Structure 1
Amino acid sequence: MDLISDLPDAVIHNIFSFLPLEDVVKTSVLSKRWRSTWTTTPYLVFDEKIAQRVEKIAKRVGRDTFPSFVDSILRRCTSPALKRFHVADLWSDLWLEPWLSFAEERRVEDFRLSYYLMPFFGLPRSLYRLSWVVSLQVSSCRLSLGADGTISWPRLKVLSVKDAMLSDHVLEGILSGSPLLESLELCECRGINSIIIDAKSVKELVLIGVTFFNVENIQAPHLLSLRVSGTWYPYSKFRLGDISSLVKAQLYFSFETDDKKILGDFVEELFEKLCGVRTIIINDWCLQVLSLLEMEGVQFPFLKCQNLILHAAVSQWDLPGIAYMLRSSQCLEKLYILQTGNCYLKLKLDKESEKRFNFDEEDFLWSRKGNFQCLAKHLKRVKITGLEAQSFRLKYLLALIKFILGETLVLEKMIINGRKHLQASELLGVHQNICSYQRACRSAEVNLEGFFC
């Protein structure tokens, strides 16, 4: 008895949404019941893998290129509304106009379009009139305004623009023509100098910079979440303006310069803008710049951070930066350290600066004992993941754990996860050390998860 065939169409469509389109089409050979079922799917995803396979077959048999393959599927599609319509690896826009008409007729909600090897195609004007689109992603193209000088995406909530030409004027038109926009991602977008977001609906901004991204001014007074990643350069002049409502900042980027003054000024100015943010997530590069500032005695303004997430190796290059953040975050309640494998020095230091990092880890932390107000009054939860029993940098992590347990007066729970596939014998010594550490708060619970299976 075929129980799957008796499922409602909505359930079958949901199953289709998790399958590659090729597998969805192959269901037509299962039985008469399934012969045309695939044509009703509202999920049409022509991704890079499909495009490459179709083009490989086309070269072998001399027919059916990728665009004609897409056309053949669209002609058979009977779904009155599309949840998802993605087209990747498009190398010309000759077929795009009828596809956009198809997308608008079928009220597409999630539309993605990316070109292959031919960047900065001018997008058809009809793209700027997709009245049903909720999520839109375009890449390797050039954005402009519609035929009447405006853009109209009345239902758009999520917009991602990657590797594209985009001016301040066009960005302004996008924001004014998308009254419901909540999330904006700009990745390697050339031509933008200022990002001015006055709309109260936009809550998330993602900026990914590599080489050409040159943003001199960011004004977004109603923004709640900011994520900055990629590689930035001194000439990018990346500066934050009014982000007064921000509650979450994710800093996953690096800055391509060895000039200590440029690094220090950049990070100092950045954290001045983040002083009121409640959740801060930073990577190992940023942490090492903070380590450099800590070792050179640079003072930062205090942060109101309550949740701190650190992606770091916890080596000699990271420990001072962690101390810096603990000292600056006087209201800190939750600390999460995700150990990474990048334990090497990411900055180029002169000999004098590098000598400062030759310290005893326990002496270093105890020498700053009186500066950690968060440990005395606020820090309640600590989670550390990725502990390695045989790592040479383990001593720095253990010194940090010992210090936190010995100084945190209101600690409720500390969770420590070992890396997967480690034997109990490897972690036994670590387990014994941690359990022997004195605790300032006797009721503090220490859970060693993944240590013993």
Structure 2
Amino acid sequence: METRSAKRKKMAQIVANDAKVTTDRISDLPDAVLHQILFLLPIKCVAQMSILSKRWRHLWCTFPDLDFRTLDQFQISSKYLKFLEFEKPRQPLDSSRMDFITQVFSIRDKHSDIRVLCFRARLSFSRLNGLIRRAIRHNVRELDIEASTVCTDDYFNFPRCVIGSESLRVLKLRSGFRLPPSSVMRHGFQSLKTLSLSFVILNNQPSLTDLFSESSFPLLQTLHLDACFGLKYLRVGCRALVDLNLEKCNELEGLDVSCAKLERMRLVECFVAYSEKSWVKINAPMLEHLCWQHNAVTDMAMFEPWNLLHEVTLGFFILTRENSQSQLQSAVELLSGLSRVHSLSLERETIEILSNNHLLFQPFYDLKHLELQTGFNKSNVPGLTCLFKSSPTLNTLILKIIHEYKIERKEWNRDLWDMTITEGEQYWESQIRTLESFLQHLKVVKIHGFLDYENEVALAKFLLKHGKSLEEMVLHTGHCNARDTLRRQKIRSQMVGFSWASSNAKVAFQ
């Protein structure tokens, strides 16, 4: 039994242990390591931690990664503001976010550089210019700004202090603004590696043929232009460029790309204006990934064969019937230029053009992965057949069916015992000879949006019946009620009821 004396000694030992000062191992870490740890936290937490000690206040004043995009619901206590020598805002905190950002700059160590500055805000021209100038003085390396101006209805002028910055590596600017003359920008940005510009007003500069050149951007690797209003002609000739992304430049009529190191190019909703003749010239021998979505058919010239092209997403449409023949010829040339591609995704409009017109293009000799978006109406079947014939060594086929409920489609025969061959099955059976190589190599089939219509069931049964190398067929049916479940069970039973060409094939309904 423990004596009173022993209890007192034990309690005294516990109190003595609690009184010992615990070593703060985290605060002993170097600034660079602590900055990296704090980078993983929202800036609100980093600011709040500055009141812990002088050491942590120093870390806050020298913190190089200022991402203010999480300040929407930032609540700043009066005690915290007083500690940092801030004046308590007289206006609601939501409207004083930019005041807080300005005050953060005011307490920074004058000799501490900024690695990253990101913010989204609604502010005046002068305040935006002031913040950018301060960031440039602190040798900012990455500047990401999304701003809407409020002082006038005019557009923001591109900040010229950014042009001559030697420290800037990444610039992302999303705001309605005008570019200065090319003569001003031509010899700047000597250190820039990533440039992203959105909502650029180019009504007085419809042609940018001498801006994105080797002399202006010698180190630029990534270029993203989004919603460039008024841009009609663009030339990109940056020697170090690897990634080019153009989106919603819908007035574009001419594009000239000459980049020896370009690997990825993405054009979305660019050539949509009703122009008599639009054109594209591409000289990119290292191009591996091409995305051409929601664009009109253009005259396309390729100075080098795309032998390295690996993955392509293609979606084009025809604007006018008057020039349809020339546009169809351009479509044929584009498809023929992709004969060595390994992975191909086609949008619905492209398949409709192939179905409505008998286009002859070179087969995709090396194609292994084919993804198609289609309404899978009866009128789309010729286009699908054409693509299957042109893919003699295909390994994986993915169909994404887009359903339009306004268009009537014939449902699969619900009578389990009625084994009459449907019109769709008769059509596919008539194509066996021309699809022989396709059926010998196909291994995986995935159909999304499988709703038991006749065309879908006919194709699935045909591939099972004649796909000699087929290993897996997945039919993604989505959510269904009890009635639909019964129909799917009937379809499964009928598919099992005939012999399959491949003994290794497996069918799954998901």
Mean CA deviation greater in 11-20 or 121-130: 11-20
The one-letter amino acid of 1:310's match is E
Q: 1:142 aligned to 2:178? A: yes
Alignment of 1:342-381 (within 5 A): 342-344=402-404, 360-372=423-435, 375-376=438-439, 378-380=441-443
Paired position in structure 2 for 1:269: 330
Paired position in structure 1 for 2:228: 189
Shift of the alpha carbon at 1:188? 2.0
Q: Is the 8 A contact 1:249 1:280 kept in 2?
A: no
The one-letter amino acid of 1:242's match is I
Paired position in structure 1 for 2:194: 158
Paired position in structure 1 for 2:390: 328
User: Quick one: structure 1 residues 149 and 208, their matched pair in 2 at CA, closer, same or farther if it must change by over 3 Å?
Assistant: closer
Q: 1:414 aligned to 2:483? A: no
Separation in structure 2 between the aligned mates of residue 437 and residue 128 of structure 1, nearest angstrom: 70
Paired position in structure 2 for 1:42: 64
User: Quick one: structure 1 residues 296 and 371, their matched pair in 2 at CA, closer, same or farther if it must change by over 3 Å?
Assistant: same
Separation in structure 1 between the aligned mates of residue 182 and residue 368 of structure 2, nearest angstrom: 43
Shift of the alpha carbon at 1:126? 1.4
Q: 1:229 aligned to 2:268? A: yes
Separation in structure 1 between the aligned mates of residue 396 and residue 267 of structure 2, nearest angstrom: 22
Q: Is the 8 A contact 1:251 1:282 kept in 2?
A: no
The one-letter amino acid of 2:126's match is L
The one-letter amino acid of 1:25's match is A
Alignment of 1:28-427 (within 5 A): 28=50, 37-47=59-69, 50=71, 60-61=91-92, 65-77=96-108, 80-116=112-148, 120-139=155-174, 140-145=176-181, 150-166=186-202, 167=205, 170=208, 172-176=210-214, 177-209=216-248, 212-220=250-258, 222=260, 223-230=262-269, 232-236=271-275, 237-243=277-283, 245=285, 246-253=287-294, 259=320, 266=327, 269-270=330-331, 272-277=333-338, 278-279=341-342, 281-282=344-345, 286-304=347-365, 306-310=367-371, 312=373, 315-316=376-377, 319-337=381-399, 339=400, 342-344=402-404, 360-372=423-435, 375-376=438-439, 378-380=441-443, 382=444, 384=446, 387-388=448-449, 391=451, 393=453, 395-411=454-470, 413-414=471-472, 416=474, 418=476, 426=485
User: Quick one: structure 1 residues 307 and 328, their matched pair in 2 at CA, closer, same or farther if it must change by over 3 Å?
Assistant: same
The one-letter amino acid of 1:187's match is D
Q: What's the % identity of the aligned pairs? A: 20
Shift of the alpha carbon at 1:10? 5.6
The one-letter amino acid of 1:132's match is S
Shift of the alpha carbon at 1:123? 0.8
The one-letter amino acid of 1:160's match is S
Separation in structure 2 between the aligned mates of residue 400 and residue 4 of structure 1, nearest angstrom: 64
SS for the counterpart of 1:71 is: helix
Q: Is the 8 A contact 2:136 2:165 kept in 1?
A: yes
Shift of the alpha carbon at 1:291? 2.6
Shift of the alpha carbon at 1:71? 1.0
User: Quick one: structure 1 residues 221 and 106, their matched pair in 2 at CA, closer, same or farther if it must change by over 3 Å?
Assistant: closer
Separation in structure 1 between the aligned mates of residue 224 and residue 361 of structure 2, nearest angstrom: 30
User: Quick one: structure 1 residues 92 and 264, their matched pair in 2 at CA, closer, same or farther if it must change by over 3 Å?
Assistant: farther
Separation in structure 1 between the aligned mates of residue 337 and residue 142 of structure 2, nearest angstrom: 35
User: Quick one: structure 1 residues 63 and 159, their matched pair in 2 at CA, closer, same or farther if it must change by over 3 Å?
Assistant: closer
User: Quick one: structure 1 residues 146 and 227, their matched pair in 2 at CA, closer, same or farther if it must change by over 3 Å?
Assistant: closer
Larger Rg, first or second structure (1 or 2): 2
Gaps of 5+ in 2: 1-21, 76-87, 297-316, 410-421
The one-letter amino acid of 1:134's match is R
1:232-289 per-position Cα deviation (integer Å, ceiling 9, x unaligned): 5342554322356343222331658775565675465245235343155545xx4334
Shift of the alpha carbon at 1:65? 3.6
Alignment of 1:9-28 (within 5 A): 13-14=35-36, 16-28=38-50
For the aligned residue pairs, the C-alpha RMSD in angstroms reads: 4.6
Q: Which of 1 and 2 has higher RCO (CA within 8 Å, sep 6+)?
A: 1
SS for the counterpart of 2:266 is: strand
1:187-244 per-position Cα deviation (integer Å, ceiling 9, x unaligned): 221343333334443233222226x432323333644333222375342554322356
Q: Is the 8 A contact 1:128 1:145 kept in 2?
A: no
